[in-house]
Chains A and B, each alone.
Chain A
Amino acid sequence: MDFFVQLLVNGLSVGFLYGISAMGFVMIFKSSSVLNFAHGELLAIGAYIFLVLATEAHLPIYGAFILTMLACFSLGFIVEKLFLRPLIGEPLIFVIMLTVGLAAMFKGLILLIWGGNLHTFPDFLPEWLTLTWGGATVQPVYTLALVAGVTFLALFGLFFKFSSQGIYMRSVADNQRAALSLGVNVKNVFALSWAIAALVAGLSGIILGIINGVNVHDLSAIGLKVFPVVILGGLDSIGGAIVGGLIIGLLETLTGGYISPSLRDVVPYIVLVVILMLKPYGLFGQVEIERV
């Protein structure tokens, strides 16, 4: 029983991290229906920027954190400006292929600069983030993750529902040409959504880096594991990403614990195929209805 509870807790915490990592991905999908295969690399870039600022430049932690967020925001902006803007109005297949190329490019670049070794952050989280809840204690990182997750969930929900930018984003995702002809500034929408997604990805990268250490192979693997998570939750649902993450995380740790550790990394993808078969739009995704 103890073993089960431990697996449960592990699974939920791993899953919550998956959920947070998936939020940036959903952000991009929701605003441009692009499947971003470079998401894992965006996570990694955020983590590495923070690593450099915090350990090599010896900046104070909060300063390093704010600078990292700014850097990620601008990075998303630059990536959009350089690579995606020329493709506005082109078929989606080009954009998705482009993200496949970007993923390879970024990964190669990170490996060339920092190598494939595991780096760790200094221990910097303040003690007061440790929550004691009955007998159980929650590590400060997880408190941070929880706070970040809930905050972003609420912010995104409000953003997409009420702000005009959010509504523009949804219109662009639905039909880019129609949105263009109705006067939506698609360029701005793309730029903003990539910038925000890179920011969220950077933050999740830092959180993942605190827990597992920073390693580009692991982080880009998580970037791909986002796919089962969002398919399960529904591609365009940010809340669904969190729920999907929790379920995938649980399944992963339970399989790792009870069946076989080597199956652990494949289970999410088996789930993915099953979901596509049974409930293709996921738990909370919007079912596409087509009328001609």
Chain B
Amino acid sequence: MRKWIFHPCGNFHERYETQLNVYETDYGRFWTAVGIVLLFTAVPLVSSHYLLYVVNSIGIAAIAAIGLNILVGYTGQISLGHGAFFGVGAYGAAYLATRWGAPLLVSVPAAGLIAAIAGLVFGLPSSRLKGLYLTIATLAGQFIIEYVLIHWESVTRGTMGITLPTAGIFGLEIAGDRAFFYLIFTLLVAMLWFAVNLLRTRYGRAFIAIRDNDRAAEGMGIAIFPYKLLAFAISSFYAGVAGAVWAYYTISITAEPFNLGLSVEYIAMVIIGGMGNMSGAVFGAVFITGLNEILRWGTDLMMNMGFVTQMGLNMAPLREFVFGLAIVLFILFEPRGLAEVWRIVRSSFRLWPFSY
């Protein structure tokens, strides 16, 4: 029986292995377990139909944001094409499900792989270069993929869109918000678990080394370009899986939502949540999706009041402005994002009421 740790009186590491621990204390491990149990039992029961839809959207966004965080927060590369890879995943799943009748368990990972391969195509030329060329290549990827999604009609059916069949696992039909809640959040927990543990392996440490100093990393024998490419592929895989689930969830998809705006939205999630912090991606997803809903609700309210309608107040520009402002403010004032705010709040409560 090992010793349980509940309340450390400092940040002590007796062995190097302990530095890799995910949880500093068993207290944290306990609350995570409680949180997961509550998430799966209480949330779907007490939530209304609308709230469950919002929660599901958060879950999907969080999966994609975790992927982007591996690339941006841990490897130090920017992707401006995350929205497009999300779209590739959505269309991949839709194609596999409608043409080949692939079941959910096959089509979702396959869609992730397709997105990862699409990512490799754009990552390959740019990751040979130092600096932030990947950003520019992914910008190109965003536009090229958008074009392909609209014009490759034999696969994507162009502007008509694709309607997906009902999802099912082992004969169990997945339809409705509650069933999708379980699917999305099981997937989210699994992928979060994978991401957190990936970063404790040699691969994850290599990513972090590249982010911190690529010359030093190279000097220590890390092959920079394969690792950068790997990080990019993993990040696209996450986007693809999220897109695939989203496609099943919304049933009918068109190429419209996968534009540059969506990519910027994901970047906003990662920055606002906290770069280089896995819980940050989840915080960011909650924040941005919540903000989206509040803005929609607010503009609806103002539309009903009438006098604003004459001003032609529109949801889209307001949303764009608020997102931009949020990104700018967070970079200037809290570049480590909401995760850092959360850590500060937590640690100020840790010794409460006897701080000092």
User: Which residues of chain A have a CB within 8 Å of any CB of chain B?
Assistant: 33, 35, 37, 83, 86-87, 90-94, 96-98, 100-109, 111-112, 115-116, 224, 227-228, 231, 262-263, 265-266, 269-270, 272-273, 276-277, 280, 288, 290, 292
User: CB-CB < 8 A to A288: which residues of B?
Assistant: 130-131
In the assembled complex, 25 residue pairs joining A and B whose CB atoms fall closer than 8 Å, in A order, are A35-B135, A97-B78, A97-B327, A100-B267, A101-B268, A101-B323, A101-B325, A102-B324, A103-B324, A104-B320, A104-B323, A104-B324, A105-B327, A108-B320, A112-B321, A224-B260, A227-B136, A265-B147, A266-B144, A269-B144, A270-B140, A270-B144, A273-B141, A276-B125, A280-B129
Whole-angstrom distance between the alpha carbons of A35 and B132 in the complex? 9
A227 (CB) vs chain B CBs: closest residue: B136
Query: Is B271 an interface residue when CB atoms closer than 8 A count as contact?
Result: yes
User: CB-CB < 8 A to A103: which residues of B?
Assistant: 264, 324
Cβ of A65 to closest chain B Cβ, rounded Å: 28
B140 near A272 (CB under 8 angstroms)?
Answer: yes
Asked if A96 meets B132 with Cβ closer than 8 Å, knowing A107-B320, A228-B140, the reply is yes
User: CB-CB < 8 A to A109: which residues of B?
Assistant: 317, 321
Whole-angstrom distance between the alpha carbons of A255 and B150 in the complex? 18
User: CB-CB < 8 A to A102: which residues of B?
Assistant: 324, 328
Query: Is B200 an interface residue when CB atoms closer than 8 A count as contact?
Result: no
B151 (CB) vs chain A CBs: closest residue: A262
Contact partner, A93, options B76, B80, B327, Cβ 8 Å: B76
Cβ of B81 to closest chain A Cβ, rounded Å: 11
Interface of B is mostly: helix
Whole-angstrom distance between the alpha carbons of A33 and B133 in the complex? 12
B133 near A280 (CB under 8 angstroms)?
Answer: yes
A105 near B140 (CB under 8 angstroms)?
Answer: no
Cβ of A41 to closest chain B Cβ, rounded Å: 10
Contact partner, A107, options B78, B124, B324, Cβ 8 Å: B324
B327 (CB) vs chain A CBs: closest residue: A101
Query: Is B322 an interface residue when CB atoms closer than 8 A count as contact?
Result: yes
User: CB-CB < 8 A to B147: which residues of A?
Assistant: 262-263, 265-266
Contact partner, B317, options A83, A101, A111, A270, Cβ 8 Å: A111
Asked if A105 meets B328 with Cβ closer than 8 Å, knowing A111-B320, A280-B133, A290-B130, the reply is yes
- 1/0 per residue, CB under 8 A from A, across B111-123: the answer is 0000000000010
A111 near B316 (CB under 8 angstroms)?
Answer: yes
B78 near A93 (CB under 8 angstroms)?
Answer: yes
A269 near B143 (CB under 8 angstroms)?
Answer: yes
Query: Is B219 an interface residue when CB atoms closer than 8 A count as contact?
Result: yes
User: Which residues of chain B have a CB within 8 Å of any CB of chain A?
Assistant: 72, 76, 78, 80, 122, 124-126, 128-133, 135-137, 139-141, 143-144, 147, 151, 215, 218-219, 260, 264, 267-268, 271, 312-314, 316-328, 331-332, 335
Whole-angstrom distance between the alpha carbons of A103 and B320 in the complex? 9
Asked if A265 meets B143 with Cβ closer than 8 Å, knowing A105-B328, A106-B324, the reply is yes
B327 near A104 (CB under 8 angstroms)?
Answer: yes
User: CB-CB < 8 A to A97: which residues of B?
Assistant: 78, 267, 271, 327, 331
Whole-angstrom distance between the alpha carbons of A221 and B63 in the complex? 29
User: CB-CB < 8 A to B133: which residues of A?
Assistant: 276, 280
Contact partner, A101, options B72, B132, B140, B331, Cβ 8 Å: B331
A112 near B317 (CB under 8 angstroms)?
Answer: yes
B332 near A86 (CB under 8 angstroms)?
Answer: yes
Contact partner, A292, options B125, B126, B219, Cβ 8 Å: B219
Nearest 7 Cβ contacts at the A-B interface = A108-B321, A105-B324, A101-B327, A104-B324, A111-B317, A108-B320, A269-B140
Whole-angstrom distance between the alpha carbons of A86 and B140 in the complex? 30
User: CB-CB < 8 A to A83: which residues of B?
Assistant: 328, 332
User: CB-CB < 8 A to A92: which residues of B?
Assistant: 132
Whole-angstrom distance between the alpha carbons of A90 and B215 in the complex? 18
A271 (CB) vs chain B CBs: closest residue: B140
Whole-angstrom distance between the alpha carbons of A64 and B43 in the complex? 60
Whole-angstrom distance between the alpha carbons of A37 and B267 in the complex? 13
Cβ of B271 to closest chain A Cβ, rounded Å: 6
Whole-angstrom distance between the alpha carbons of A277 and B317 in the complex? 36
Q: A101-B325, A106-B324, A111-B317 are in contact. List 16 more A-B contacts (CB 8 A).
A: A87-B332, A94-B331, A98-B328, A101-B324, A102-B324, A107-B321, A108-B317, A108-B323, A115-B312, A224-B139, A231-B136, A263-B147, A273-B125, A276-B129, A277-B124, A292-B218
User: CB-CB < 8 A to A107: which residues of B?
Assistant: 317, 320-321, 324
Cβ of A27 to closest chain B Cβ, rounded Å: 17
Asked if A273 meets B144 with Cβ closer than 8 Å, knowing A93-B132, A227-B139, the reply is yes
User: CB-CB < 8 A to B80: which residues of A?
Assistant: 37, 100
User: CB-CB < 8 A to A33: which residues of B?
Assistant: 131
Contact partner, B136, options A108, A112, A270, A276, Cβ 8 Å: A276
Whole-angstrom distance between the alpha carbons of A288 and B130 in the complex? 9
A290 near B129 (CB under 8 angstroms)?
Answer: no
User: CB-CB < 8 A to B268: which residues of A?
Assistant: 101
A35 near B316 (CB under 8 angstroms)?
Answer: no
A41 (CB) vs chain B CBs: closest residue: B324
Cβ of A176 to closest chain B Cβ, rounded Å: 14
A108 (CB) vs chain B CBs: closest residue: B321
B318 near A112 (CB under 8 angstroms)?
Answer: yes
Asked if A100 meets B143 with Cβ closer than 8 Å, knowing A86-B332, A87-B331, A290-B215, the reply is no
User: CB-CB < 8 A to B129: which residues of A?
Assistant: 276, 280
User: CB-CB < 8 A to A270: which residues of B?
Assistant: 140, 144
User: CB-CB < 8 A to A98: which residues of B?
Assistant: 327-328, 331-332
Whole-angstrom distance between the alpha carbons of A160 and B314 in the complex? 44
User: CB-CB < 8 A to B322: which residues of A?
Assistant: 108
B140 near A100 (CB under 8 angstroms)?
Answer: no
A85 (CB) vs chain B CBs: closest residue: B332
A94 (CB) vs chain B CBs: closest residue: B331
B142 (CB) vs chain A CBs: closest residue: A269
